[in-house]
């Protein structure tokens, strides 16, 4: 099922196209469709050959099934990500933990503010940007 097209829908499209084209032009349309199919197959074969030539021996070593996008299931990816090891603590969490243990619970809110630098100067403000 490509783009939601089933066999029944494709057959219906073919019958409607045959009725629209008519019996006089149908053989010529079938020949042009066959030629287009042949050229598309040649393009794919040529592309595959070029990739094989450019990659060399590495082309045969690649496991193409692992690169197939149809195998990716978002639920499985999220489940595996959640079951991984505990995340590494972030810089902000490490700084906050260090400030709490160093000063106890008496640290001022301005010292822990992510919007202020090491000093008590206000954050820079660009009047031209707003």
Is the pLDDT at 37 greater than 90, yes or no? Answer: yes
pLDDT at site 20: 92
The pLDDT score that the predictor gives to residue 39 is: 97
Taking only the tens place, the pLDDT of each residue in 49-70 is 998 888 887 777 778 777 777 7
More confident residue, 98 or 103: 98
> What digits encode the pLDDT tens for the residues 71-91?
788 888 888 878 766 656 666
Note the Cα 47 to chain centre separation in Å: 23
């Amino acid at each position: 099922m490509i783009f939601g097209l089933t066999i029944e829908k494709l057959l219906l499209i073919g019958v409607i196209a045959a009725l629209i084209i008519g019996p006089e032009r149908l053989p010529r349309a079938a020949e042009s469709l066959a030629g287009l199919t042949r050229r598309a197959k040649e393009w794919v074969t040529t592309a595959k050959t070029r990739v094989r030539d450019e990659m060399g021996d590495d082309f045969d070593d690649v496991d193409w099934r692992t690169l197939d996008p149809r195998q990716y299931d978002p639920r499985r990816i999220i489940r595996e990500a959640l079951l991984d090891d505990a995340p590494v603590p972030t810089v902000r969490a490490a700084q906050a933990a260090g400030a709490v243990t160093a000063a106890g619970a008496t640290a001022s809110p301005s010292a822990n503010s992510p919007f202020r630098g090491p000093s008590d100067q206000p954050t820079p403000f660009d009047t031209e940007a707003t």
